[in-house]
Amino acid sequence: MKVHEKTRSMVRKAYGTVAKKSVSCCSGSSCCGGDAPEKSEGELGLSCGNPVGFSKIKKGMTVLDLGSGAGKDVFIAAPLTGPKGKVIGVDMTPEMLVLAKKNLAKFTARTGLRNVEFRKGLIEKLPVKAGEADLIISNCVVNLSPDKPAVFREAFRALKPGGRLVVSDIVLNRELPPALKKHAGLYASCVAGALQRRDYLGAIKAAGFKGIKLLSDNTYRAGGTCSDPITDKAGKALDGAASSITVLAEKTKRA
């Protein structure tokens, strides 16, 4: 447990600093090698994919974003759910939640929508009721968790029967050198804490999900780091070692 809290503390510190600076290397495309949606409400583009784009969000849905940060994907999803729908963002970093709430005020003023809520909490222990969500999304966050299987178990609990999980994340294609595994900056950049591909998909299956399908799969290349000062330093050692994937999984009605 102490190891888990040490990891969370490192991630909070890294993303708290990013939130205060309100800058990111990812502007339009992700440092992690995937395609990201355009930024909204002055939000940080910290991501490795586009889960909203694959989610087929319908009016009236309740959408839950794991590790919502300053709200980028929340604000993209909210107009799609409409005024009768709801989007809940969960994050553990106080500075990111402050930024999210500032962005929320701008979003509400611009759209008139009041269907967004941000909650402080761990994605391993979600502050939501069982069966509260129709759809769960997450963008390059699960790999930051020190207990990824717990995240997927919680996601399964939070979904209604028939609900879907669409998560973009980083997985490893091979083992990283020992020095990079312990690199705090690389952990915060979605790489050092990533699971092997088979273990990541296995954790989703073990949580109870069915119909697991890869929607996108992009291999990390050293030349695609967007001049990220963290991943640039790892360069050749990371080339081909990781992929940005987007995964669809379902909680069947007879789960």
Q: How far apart are the first and last CA of the chain?
A: 30
Judge contact between 106 and 41, C-beta under 8 A.
yes
**Whole-number pLDDT of residue 31:** 35
Domain count, the chain: 1
CA atoms in the 13 A half-sphere facing the CB of 215: 21
Burial of 239 (0-12, 13-18, 19+ CB in 10 A): middle
Task: Report the range of poorest mean pLDDT among 14-18, 28-32, 67-71, 244-248.
Answer: 28-32
At residue 2 the predicted structure's pLDDT band, cuts being 50, 70 and 90, is low
Residues 6+ apart with CB under 8 A from 64: 87, 88, 90, 126, 128, 132, 133, 135, 136, 137, 158
**Whole-number pLDDT of residue 248:** 98
CATH of the domain at 110: 3.40.50.150
At residue 240 the predicted structure's pLDDT band, cuts being 50, 70 and 90, is confident
Higher-confidence residue: 33 or 57?
57
Residue 6 lies in a domain: yes
Q: By residue range, what is the domain housing residue 205?
A: 2-250
Residues 165-224 pLDDT 10s: 999 988 988 887 676 666 555 544 556 678 899 999 999 999 999 999 999 998 877 554
Residue 107 lies in a domain: yes
Higher-confidence residue: 1 or 225?
1
The reported pTM is 0.80
The residues pairing with 87 across neighbouring beta strands, listed in sequence order, are 63, 116
**Whole-number pLDDT of residue 180:** 64
At residue 243 the predicted structure's pLDDT band, cuts being 50, 70 and 90, is confident
pLDDT at 46 over 50: no
User: Average pLDDT of the chain?
Assistant: 79
Residue with tokens 């990824």: 148
What pairing do the DSSP bridges indicate for beta strands 159-172 and 242-250? antiparallel
Residues 6-41 pLDDT 10s: 555 555 555 555 545 554 333 233 333 333 333 444
Over range 118-143, report the average pLDDT.
Answer: 95
**Whole-number pLDDT of residue 146:** 86
Residue 255 lies in a domain: no
**Whole-number pLDDT of residue 49:** 79
Residue 140 lies in a domain: yes
